[in-house]
Every structure is written in structure tokens, then in C-alpha cells.
Structure 1
């Protein structure tokens, strides 16, 4: 399969494509427009062989998508604060399915990860297509979820940094108009319209269903590869099956407030005398 400018190779039936023949250090408006189209088509794209990508060019590529984030707590590249370091020897192994920073009111639009050092074996990353997850649910389940919201929250270790946001359980993509499931195991705390037991049971089902292999692609990194993923419609998981160093540099592009259907019910209020257990808040070290 080939695009009009370069070679496009899908890597699974669910999502993901390798892009060959692009130099991000020589990016034109025409090539960027095609890369953005491919991102919307495949949800995650892998631009191979970018060994010469400089930090400045990495940031410039991110700025073509939108405003680049200055991350509040991850380590940053010296002299380039827009780039965060993902280092396996400094807490950079997040082997839990998640969507980046859904605990913010405006979670990221996309992330751009440049792998600069890979282990000789292992260290793959998996992504899942949350469009397909939503579309494979039954009609009654989709109808229920369309009327719910979920609280996303985090606390970083023992620090004072914490963030919390409430988003639709089903998100409408602002560019494609398609609906997708928008909860994740790492940051979604509870569904406030339900009792705690109901919320825990429903979320556990959704987490397990959304992580099914039929929705997933798995990528074997090579040094110099760049991955761009649409954070509005994917989850990802870094496979922790290696002992050698693995290091990447990531630029994150700020997004908008997730949009979906209006909640059809008020937040659950426990009757007098019944305790409603407080929300679980994740405590993450060096996320």
C-alpha cells in the first residue's frame, strides 16, 4: 500500500502503520498534511529511520499539530524543556494500559516519541483502537455509556501535585466525528452517576474489554523510530520484558476538552445512613 508521497505499511488490522521515505528534518507543509491524514486514518503512525532528528526539529514537528506542552513533573531534556525524557532506568516503565494525562481538563491531542536507545530484545509498545472498542459493544451498552461521565485523577507519589477531571465515558473525536470509549485503567477513578460497586464492576469490564488483542497493534522499535499517536482515541502499554537501557524523547501536544453526550443522570447521592466510599486516586511514582 502506498501513499502519494511515500510508502505506507499497515501493521495490524486494528490500527497502526509504518511510514517509510519521510525525513522529519526536511518536512514540508504538503508532507505534514499527509502525515496528519494518515494519523487520523491509522490512529498511530511510525516514521522509521529518523536517526538525524534533532531536538529542535522534534519540537517543530510537534508545533505543527498545536501548542506543545511543558510537562509539570517528568524530567526534561537539557536546553529543550518541551521534550521529556522517557528512561527505563529513571522510572520510565509504565506497563499499564492508559491514555496520556486524562486527569487534565484538556488532555493531550497527540504524543510524539523518538526512541534513541533500544534494548537488543524486548521493549515493544502496544496501542489499542478505542473506536473499535466502542463499536463492538452491544447497542444497549453503548446507549448506557453515552449518558455517563467518568472521573480521572492522579497523585504523584507523596508530593502535593494532584489533578482531577471529569470527562464523557464516550468521546466524540473533534476531527472525525467518530465515537470512542474514553476510560483507562491507570487514571479513571469512578463513574459518578453510579454506586461505587456498580462503577467498579462496569469499569473493570470496560478495561478488560478495551485491552483485547483484536483491538491492538504491537510495535518493535528500532533506534531512530518516531511514533505519533492520537491520544484522543488510543490507549498504549509499554511492555516491560527487558533489562537493558531503553530511552526515548517525547513531545506532547496540548488538546481540547473531551466532548460527548450530555450526562443523562445526576451524580449518585447515597441515602441517609449509607456511606459512599471516596474516589480512588492513583498514586504514581515517576509516571
Structure 2
């Protein structure tokens, strides 16, 4: 059964897998009814692009985020002066993440959603892509889904001596609002599957990364200054395309989430034979099995 059409806004899907442009929104004067409709559209389309928000005050940006939940104070990224809830992502300062990822899965409770406004963008290039991880999981074979439902994965990050974090999450996550299952590993932060040996883990993760990054699961968005994107961090990955020469600058509010849930693991962590070393070979890993 298809979702009901919006009675408040003009909604234009941007791809078959996910994503929709939303016209007719004024985030600076958003009503409770308007927010409820945007929330519904987010659950339906997984990422929504709210166009025409030039001049959105930072206070309204933060207030919109707080309608979803508690706003995060990011541990290491630069913030907008006077507004610690808003992270500044500036290509001139190294803000280019051209690797598929889900935001901050190295936390025990990764973000629920992110709200990014583009305030400066190049005339050509600088698009962002997202993937639908519901579809990724659903299009895996039944035996592989059965295996993945019983596994966990370790997610890690280390930023010099300033910040280190590690978390263990189900490989398959159950969405707390829709009840649907999605694949929950990503190339940037997922280190290894602890129930498997290193070689098995590396081979399986590489297959899952490659499978999830196929174009049939994607949407691609061409930014205009003032556009605001909201994505469900529980069921998407994204990738900032690094194909431009100008400057790309955005301001992001992140909403704290809950601890991912799925089926309990069916196996214990893998134990190497005595004297045998099993170190994760992935470049972002920071510790042995």
C-alpha cells in the first residue's frame, strides 16, 4: 500500500530508491502540524531536501533539530561561532568525506538524524549521494540475511590523541519507528565482525560494502545555496562527491539517537588459536580482535 500524498507540501521524489524534494516549507516558522508531516516524509523517503531556506537563522536550524530530539555537541568538529550545536563542514578546512559512511557509528548511541544546510557551493559539482539500507538488506540472499542477523560489528575511530571511540552494534539493525531491518555496517567506521576470523570478516565486509554501494540503492542530489537536507541516520549511508574546485560549506545539526537493536548474536567472539595473532587489517581499526 502506497504512502498517502502530502496535503501540506509539494513532494517530488528524486530517485526510485530514496529521497524527495519538499517545496512550500518555511523552517523559520514551522508549525507542529508541519513538523509532523516532515517527520512522516522522512520515514517514507529516508532523506528529504527542503528547498528555499536561504537566510534560515541558526536559532531556527537548532530549534528544528530539537523537534526530533536532543541535539548533539560534536566532540571534535569545528562549530559555528555562538552556536555550539551547529557543526561547520567547510571544504577549505578539510571538510570532504568522499567515503561511504553512516554518521558516528563508533558511538554506543549513534545519531538519529542529521540536518545539513548548504550555505556556499561550487557552480558545478559537490553533490551528495545517499543509499537505502533497507533495500540493501532486503536484496541479499536469504541464507546471507540469516547469517548477518546473528552477527555484530565493531565500529571505531581515533582522531590523534583528542578523541577515541568504539562501539559494537548488530550487523542488521531494526528501525525503532518502522520495525524494518537494514544493513548497518559502513566502509569508514566498521572495523570487523568479532564472531569471525580476520580473513573471514574482511572478506564478508568487503562484499557487503561493495553490494550496498551499487547505484540502484542510491539517490544523488545537486545542491543549491539554502537547501536543507535531513537524513535518517539509522537506515542510510552517504558520500560527498569530491569533484569540484570551488568552496563547499555547510552547517549541520545532529540529533542524538538510541542504541541500535537487532537480533542477539548467535555466536561468541572468535578466539584465535594460542600463539596466533589476529589483527584487523582494515585501515581504520585501532585494536586487535
- Which of 97, 101, 104 is residue 104 of structure 2 equivalent to? 101
Segments of 5+ residues of structure 1 without an aligned counterpart are none
Offset of residue 109 of structure 1: 0.1
**Contact 1:173–1:179 (Cα < 8 Å) also in 2:** yes
Give the conservation status (yes or no) of the 8 Å contact 1:153–1:281.
no
Instruction: Look up the match of 2:226.
Output: 224
**Separation (CA, whole Å) in 2 of partners of 1:260 and 1:279:** 26
Are 1:25 and 1:52, in contact at CA under 8 Å, matched by a contact in 2? Answer: no
CA contact 1:190–1:199 (8 Å) conserved in 2: yes
How do 1:33-182 and structure 2 match up within 5 A?
Answer: 33-156=36-159, 158-182=160-184
Conserved in 1, the CA contact under 8 Å of 2:191 and 2:285?
Answer: no
- C-alpha deviation, 1:170, in angstroms: 0.1
Q: 1:82-122, CA deviations, whole angstroms, 9 ceiling, x for partnerless residues? A: 00000000010000000000000000000000000010000
**Deviation of 1:273 (Å):** 2.7
CA contact (8 A) 1:154 1:281 kept: no
Give the corresponding residue for 2:187. 185
In structure 1, distance between residues paired with 2:247 and 2:236: 26
- Give how far 1:6 is off: 1.1
Is 1:100–1:231's contact at 8 Å kept on the other side of the alignment? yes
Q: State the 1:272 CA deviation.
A: 1.6
Shift of 1:282: 2.1
Using the TM superposition, give the Cα deviation of residue 276 of structure 1 relative to its aligned residue in structure 2, in angstroms. 1.7
Structure 2 CA distance, aligned partners of 1:86 and 1:138? Answer: 38
CA distance in 1, matches of 2:216, 2:195: 30
Over residues 14-35 of structure 1, what are the superposed CA-to-partner deviations in whole Å (9 max), with x where a residue is unaligned? 0000000000011000000000
| Aligned counterparts of 2:86 and 2:244: Cα–Cα separation in 1 | 24
Alignment gaps of 5+ in structure 2: none
Alpha-carbon distance in structure 1 between the residues aligned to 2:43 and 2:82:
32
Hey, what's the Cα distance between the residues in 2 that align with 1:176 and 1:109?
Answer: 13
When the two structures are superposed, what TM-score results if normalisation uses the length of structure 1? 0.96
8 A contact 1:155–1:281 mirrored in 2: no
TM-score by length of 2: 0.96
Cα distance in 2 between the residues matched to 1:4 and 1:278: 51
Indicate conservation of the 8 Å contact 2:88/2:249, yes or no.
Answer: yes
4+ residue runs of structure 1 moved beyond 3 angstroms? 278-281
> Cα RMSD between the aligned structures?
1.4
Give, in whole Å, the separation in 1 of the partners of 2:270 and 2:145: 20
Check if 1:23 corresponds to 2:48.
Answer: no
Are the aligned partners of 2:18 and 2:218 in contact in 1 as well (CA < 8 Å)?
yes
| In 1: Cα distance, 2:158 partner to 2:251 partner | 23
Kept in 2, the 8 Å contact 1:193–1:265? The answer is yes
Whole-angstrom CA distance in 2 between matches of 1:50 and 1:69: 22
